Amino acid sequence: MNKLKRHLSVANVLSCIALFVALGGTAFAAMKLGPNQVKAVNIAKQAVTNAKIKRQAVTSGKIKDGSVNALDIGAGQVTGEKIATGAVTGKKIARKAVSPRTIAEEAVTGGKLANEAVTASKLSASLYAQLVRNVTYVNTSSASNSEPNKTATASCPAGKQAIGGGVRLEGELAEVSVTGSYPVSSGTLRTGWEAIAHETGGGQPGAWSVTAFVVCAEL
C-alpha cells in the first residue's frame, strides 16, 4: 500500500479518470444509437465517400431534379432503350447534331418530309435536268372550211420546249386524212408541234379543220 501511495499523484489520478470516462462514453454511445438516430448534422463534410455507399442505394428519388448534367454522364451511357418514347423533341436536339452518320439507312421516308421541303437546290444537277417542270398545254386550229389542204402549228411559250404533241380533225371527215404530225424545231430546241391534213376524195368537199396540240415544259 505504501508503495502504491508513493506512485499516486494528482496527474496520474486525473489521467485515469479521463481514460475511464472516454472509454465509458464511447461504449455508451455505441450501445444507445438506434435506427435513424444519425442525422445529417452528425456527419462531417466529405465523410460519405463512394466506398461508403451501398450498391443500388442511390435511386431516382434520391437525386435532386436538374442535378445530373452532361459532365456527370459517361460517354456512351445513354443508349436507345434508356430514352422514353417521345422524350427527344426538336428543342432537345442541338443545331447540326444530327448528321448523315446518325440517320439509319431508309429512315427518312416520304411521310417524314414536309410539303415543299425538297427544293431544286436540294437535287443534283443531273437529276434536276431530267425533270419536267411547269408543264403547259397549247393547241391551235386551222380554219374550218372546204379547203383541201390544211396546216396548224401550236407553239410553246418562251423558255419552254415541246415534250409531246398530236393532231385532231373536226368537221366532215369522211374523205379527210392526217398526213403529218411532228415537233417543230429551231436549232436544237423543239419550239412547238405541227399538224397537216388533206382531203383524199374527189367529191364535193365539206367543212373541216385540223388542230395541232403540244405539251410544253421547262427543261
Residue with cell 447534331: 97
User: How far apart, in Å, do the first and last CA atoms of the chain sit?
Assistant: 127
More confident residue, 11 or 128: 128
Would you say residue 58 lies in a domain? no
Per the CB < 8 A criterion, the answer to whether 128 and 145 are in contact is no
Torsion angle of the four alpha carbons 202, 203, 208, 214, in this order, in degrees rounded to the nearest 10: -20
Would you say residue 183 lies in a domain? yes
Grid cell in block for residue 143: 380554219
pLDDT given for residue 97 in this prediction: 75
Would you say residue 104 lies in a domain? no
**What is d(CA 162, CA 138) in angstroms, rounded to the nearest whole number?**
10
- Give the global pTM: 0.48
Domain span at residue 22 reads 2-29
Structural domains in the chain (count)? 2
DSSP 3-state of 180: strand
Would you say residue 121 lies in a domain? no
Does residue 36 carry a pLDDT above 80?
no
Would you say residue 55 lies in a domain? no
**What is d(CA 170, CA 211) in angstroms, rounded to the nearest whole number?**
8
Contacts of 51 (CB under 8 A, 6+ apart): none
69-93 pLDDT, tens per residue? 777 787 777 776 778 777 777 677 8
Rounded to the nearest angstrom, the gap between the alpha carbon of residue 89 and the centroid of all alpha carbons in its chain is 11
Would you say residue 57 lies in a domain? no
88-127 pLDDT, tens per residue? 776 778 777 777 777 888 888 878 888 888 887 888 888 8
